[in-house]
Structure 1
Amino acid sequence: MSVTSVTVGIDVAKAHVDVCVLGAKSSAQRFDNDAEGHSALAAALQPLDVGLVVMEATGGYEAALACALQATGLPVAVINPRQARDFAKSMGRLAKTDAVDARTLAELAAVLLRRDDLQRFLRPLADERQQWLAALVTRRRQLLTMLHSERQRLQITPKKLHASIEAIEAAIKAQLDEIEEQMVTHVREHFGELDTLLQSAAGVGPVSSATMIAELPELGRLNRREIAALVGVAPMANDSGGSKGRRRVQGGRFEIRRVLYMATLTATRYNPAIKAFYERLKAAGKLPKVALVACMRKLLTTLNAMVRTGKPWDKSLHCA
């Protein structure tokens, strides 16, 4: 991939996308955010030597476009909006419009294109099976949020209305059971081998496995440092001059980190290797929270190695 390639920034909205192409001939254009618009944009980019396309994650509005562009062979990076904001601030760019945001993303693409670790920004192309699994995982998450909200309302609602809330809770639980059944069946039918591999690690259950398959397709494709940074469990330095700041984890994929946290909590009880590692860290004076994050990182990097090699969990190898 040549560093002289043109770069493309795409600001995604619900109805349309603003596109900025930077290179020998810079241009800006707007397309509809639908199948027809995606095809038109892909056709416009095909004749160009596109080095990288960058867009922000926008709650799902970008998903179909990213897949459409990837399907034509274009390298696409979907980044955290905070990364784009931080980059814009570093450039002294305070104005915010769709066109300005698209240009900022194109300039960020030019920077990323020169990085040795560019690969970690490129998400593998999701096929229809993985897209459907991602939709099921997302819907399950939405139902859990709705259920939590109803339970919170129950505490501040007059008793005469409790029956109404309880009826809604029952309906949500029924939907939750149905979605989880679909999710497990879909994983078993289409990702059975990978699911079995992941669940061979004590602590990783059906939900954790399905979420990783759907939302962490880079698993097994990156090295241990890259996968830890991507998820947000890699300790980041905070040093300046002679002072040494506390290392802390930040950023990354929140939903993956959340299921990894739950899996690790279970692993510290039932996975001998993770349990021994956790106890050793606490015995060394580490705070429980710090020790748990270290265990999250260990579990993640071990799962990453397992997927890369195709070998299931082996407690004789993955000892603390």
Structure 2
Amino acid sequence: MEKIREVVGIDISKLTLDVCLHRNGGSFRTSNDYCGIEDLINRIFSQVEIPKEEILFVFEHTGLYSSTLIEFLHKEKYLFHVASGLQIKRSLGITRGKEDKADAKRIARYGYRMKEEIELYDKPSNSLARLKRLLSLRKKLVGQRAGYISTIGEQKRILDSDQEMLLFTSQEQIISTLNEQISLIEKEIEKIIKEDQELYSQYRLLLSIKGIGGVTAQYLIVQTAGFTAFKTWRKFASYCGIAPFPHQSGTSIRGKTKVSRLAQKEGKTLLSLCATTAIQYNPEIKTFYERRVQMGKNKMSTINIIRNKLLARAFAVIKRGTPYVNTMKFAS
């Protein structure tokens, strides 16, 4: 983006926005609300006399706290980039201390250095945004339910049920309530998908792949922003931590090719479950797995290959717009 003449770095916190203009050098703080953001825009244009098309806003993704700023900038058609905190941190090298004003300056410097490479933020549709929030809530409730089920199971095994009746019944009621709420959330998720023609089409295409279930299909749709945020399945595999990378240097370092620990762990977990399911119920995948194991190949390495196979198929069916066809059943 050669036309960019000023980069505005913003450090977002719950109540405030710390702002730094890279070339101008000005910095200030305002409130993290609609009025504060309007004040932010007015103060920027009072310091720099350039058109809005030549200003780039850069800030970290902070979930709920950055939503108002994203909504405002998108509505007013400003150029902005929402960056990964880890990406900014690593690009700046060694830093000492932490302060909101200094962080805003670092973000502005990052944006200015990377302005010709970074991609502008593409705000997801309202349906995708709602899906993401509901899936996040579902994940939290499922985790809480699992905790209560595990706890009450151990307690019933050890404690006297007559003396600890209240302990058991109260937890059972909580589990029942969580089951009801999870069910309601799942129904609302299905409703949102069915009401959006494009999302529903993608959802049905993903379910045509044996091994990929409803939760994983919903996760893939949300995390890829309807398969627009990642250009290839390999990039998303790297994001999920299932893409193998070499570990070699010169003649002395000859490490194993392995996946990176930098990963979106939820995606890795879901794809692992999909791979296990595919090994059990997909004859093609089962044959592939058994053949590699008989050859003495590592089981986890084989499972990782299957994870990548399923992900590649997911991107392929979306790109083609047609369901997955199991060619093995046509083989003679």
Match of 1:286 in 2: 297
Instruction: Compute the RMSD of aligned alpha carbons.
Output: 2.9
**Which deviates more, 286-295 or 61-70?**
61-70
Counterpart contact for 1:232–1:253, Cα < 8 Å: yes
Question: How much does 1:299 deviate?
Answer: 1.5
Deviates more, 1:140-149 or 1:97-106: 97-106
> Is the 8 Å Cα contact of residues 53 and 106 (structure 1) preserved in structure 2?
yes
DSSP-derived class of the 1:18 partner: strand
Query: Does structure 1 residue 227 correspond to structure 2 residue 231?
Result: no
Between the aligned partners of 2:227 and 2:17, the Cα distance in structure 1 is 30
Which residue identity lines up with residue 302 of structure 1 in the other structure? Answer: R
1:312 partner SS: coil
Q: TM-score, normalised by structure 1?
A: 0.83
For the residue of structure 2 that corresponds to 1:246, the secondary structure is strand
**Correspondence for 2:88 among 63, 84, 87:** 84
1:255-307 CA-to-partner distances (Å, cap 9, x unmatched) read 23332222222222233444344344434433222221222122112212322
Amino acid at match of 2:280: R
1:58-207 map, 5 Å: 58-71=62-75, 72-79=77-84, 81-88=85-92, 90=93, 92-115=94-117, 118-119=118-119, 124-154=122-152, 155=154, 159=161, 160=164, 161-190=167-196, 191-207=199-215
Aligned to 2:263: 252
Aligned residue type for 2:169: A
Query: TM-score w.r.t. structure 2 length?
Result: 0.80
Q: Distance in 1 between matches of 2:320 and 2:72?
A: 30
**Taking structure 1 as reference, are residues 112 and 315 closer, same or farther at Cα in structure 2, changes over 3 Å only?**
farther
Shift of 1:35: 3.4
Residue ranges of structure 2 left out of the alignment (5+ in a row): 46-50
Change (3 A) 1:129 1:206: same
- Number of residue equivalences: 309
Q: Kindly provide the CA deviation profile for residues 207-263 of structure 1, in whole angstroms up to 9, marking residues without a partner as x.
A: 111222222216255023322223322222322332122222222323233322222
The separation in 1 between residues aligned to 2:124 and 2:268, in whole angstroms, is 20
The secondary structure found in structure 2 opposite 1:239 is strand
Task: Answer whether contact 1:67 1:126 (CA < 8 A) is retained.
Answer: no
SS in structure 1 opposite 2:96? coil
Residues 21/165 of structure 1: CA separation in 2 closer, same or farther (3 Å cut): same
Verify the 8 A CA contact 2:207 2:213 in the aligned structure 1.
Answer: yes
Which aligned pairs between 1:254-269 and structure 2 lie closer than 5 A? 254-269=265-280
| Structure 1 residue 114, shift from structure 2 partner | 4.5
Amino acid at match of 1:105: I
1:140 alignment partner AA: R
Q: Of the two, which has the highest radius of gyration?
A: 2
Tell me: CA distance 1:11–1:271, structure 2 relative to 1, closer, same or farther (3 Å): farther
Contact 2:56 2:78 in 1 (8 A): no
Contact 2:13–2:65 under 8 Å retained in 1: yes
Query: CA-to-partner distance for each residue in 1:31-54, whole Å, 9 max, x for gaps?
Result: 322333345546758726235624
